[in-house]
Structures are given as structure tokens and as C-alpha cells.
Amino acid sequence: MKLYDVTIIGGGPIGLFTAFYCGMREMETKIIEFLPYLGGKVSYFYPEKIIRDIGGIPAISGEKLIDHLVEQAQTFKPTIVLNQQVVGLERLEDGNFLLTSHNGECHLTRTIILATGFGTLKSARLGISGAEKYEGKNLHYSVEKLSAFKDKHVLISGGGNSAVDWANELLPIAKKVTVVHRRNEFAGLECNITKLKISSASIMTPYVLEALHEQDDKIKSVRVKNVETEEFEDIEVDDVLVNHGYCIDLGPMKGWGLEVEYGSIKVDSQMQTNIKGIFAAGDSANYKDKLHLIAGGFSEGPKAVNSAKAYTQPEKELKPIYSTTHF
């Protein structure tokens, strides 16, 4: 079994950029991704969402960002393993780690960088009985193609970043956008909330989805309830998009002895977990004053790589490495 210097668990944006930087540090690298493709949450939930908070890139779709990151990650030809969930972790007598996947395949590595996001991430489902039968029809938890909502009345349930962002993205395409939120205040970036509030979107607060009405096996209309007055209103819709957050599950990692805080893995200033040789970056990692942006994860990944390099070669002085060193 080949021994790798570092194995990155997670092939999302942070895992991909971390793999590139591993190559910069001339470390034999393997990526293990649970999904059958690279890109993680970005590819799965919002390939068409426009991302604007990465320095030097004014605007880019999630899909295009992942294309660039995959190309960059493959610069130094890391080994990429898809469609595997790592379930077992064992520290061997020589200090190396043996990882076991759900299908029994084993991976040998000196260090581990966890870039798993929040682990197994699933959209929180709509809590209305029978709602699941409309999934794949006109009840959605993510947007794969904006064009699918062209000239339709789309009702969005939620008030966080995702709900606000999708409302703004859909307004130029949809016939009408209605946003239903149980609170009067929205959560998210102030500029996006302001953009929504001054737009043509119909904003209903404080309301919740109360019932779904069917016609021809699809949602024809919804009933919403004002949580303060308890008054009801029926609204005809073409599509319903639910953004109620995510169900977070670290899965088998919960049994590895890692220190977990607020649903993610506690690390120090060098991205080191409480288990020597295991590091974390991106949404996997939790520390004081963390910046929850992709751009923040892009700095955490290289920091974790540098720490892994120092861990495997403690006798050597760790010198700064820049892209101009290799290109």
C-alpha cells in the first residue's frame, strides 16, 4: 500500500486548493471525496449561484469556480478517489494513519487534512406532511439551472443567505418571486438584503408555509400563515424553493476522538486538531473569530499544509513557498 504524505478528506473548494498547495510543498497527496464528483457543496447545491466574495474575481458561477479549482488542483497530479466515505481511522505503531472507506478500501498516510465542510450535509426538509412527493417536480431545495424557473412564479421559503441570494438571482428570470420568512428581519450580507428589499420581490414576513395544495401531482398553491395574527392566505405558485438551512452530520468522524465544538472540529492557530498529525480547514475547522468565507478557507488550507509539512519533517526549517517558486 502506497504511503502518502497527506490525505485530504473532502474534494470541495477548500480541499481542491489545499491539494494544489500540497503539490507546491512537494508532498505526495491523495484526495478522498464522498460524492462521485469533485466540488462538494458548491457543485451539489448551487452550481449556478454567482459567487462574488473571492478577491480578484468580480463574479463567477459555482460551476465555473469548481472547474478552475479542479484544473489547479491537478497541477501536481494528486491521486483522486471519488465516491468513498472514510469511516475508519487507526493510528499504526509507526505513527502513520490507516484510513478505511465504507467499501473496505484502505489508505495509508502520514498526515490527514479534513476539508469535509460540515460532514454529510443535507438540506433541512420542509416540515409539512406529504411534501416529499413533490420533490423532483416543483418542490426544490437547491437550484441546478436558473433557466428552469424562467417566467414562473417562484415562492422561496427562508430568510438566510441562501434564500436572499436565490431571490436576487431569480428576479431577472422569473415572472414573480415571493419570499416567505418567519421573522421580520433577514440574516445575511447587508448589501444583498437591501437589494432584495428594494426589488420587485413580494416579501411576506412574519409568515410560514402552512400547507401545500395539489393539482396534477404538483403544487398548485400554498397556504401561508402570519405567525403574529395567525391569519391565512392562499397563493398560487409554479415552483417552491425551500432554504431552511442544513442538517449537519460529521458521520463516522464523531467516533475518532476529535474535539468538536458547535458542530465542527476545534483547531489551534496552525489548523492542528487535538490529534497530532490531523489538521482541518474550511467549514470543517472551528476556532475563535473564524471567517466563514471560501476566501477564508483558501488561507486555512495552505496553513494546514505547512503544519503537516512541519509535522512530517520536524528536523527541517520550514521556508515560505510561493507560486513563483515552481512556475
DSSP-derived pairing of the beta strands 207-215 and 278-280: unpaired
Query: Three-state DSSP class for 175?
Result: coil
Predicted TM-score (pTM) of this structure:
0.78
Give residue 41's pLDDT: 81
Is 3-121+246-325 a domain of CATH 3.50.50.60? yes
Domains 3-121+246-325 and 125-242 in one fold? yes
Give residue 121's pLDDT: 61
Write down the domain spans for the chain: 3-121+246-325, 125-242
What DSSP string describes 305-319? HHHHHHHH-TTS---
How far, CA to CA in Å, does 210 sit from each of 68, 181, 199, 225?
A: 42, 12, 25, 6
DSSP 8-state secondary structure symbol assigned to residue 124? P
Q: How many CB atoms lie within 10 A of CB 78?
A: 23
CATH node for 125-242:
3.50.50.60
Grid cell, residue 97, equals 494513519
Give residue 248's pLDDT: 66
Averages of pLDDT over runs of 10 residues in the chain (327 residues) are: 97 97 97 93 82 92 95 97 96 97 97 86 84 94 90 96 93 97 92 95 97 95 96 97 82 91 90 97 93 92 96 85 71
Q: Is 116 left (phi over 0), alpha (psi -120 to 50) or beta?
A: alpha
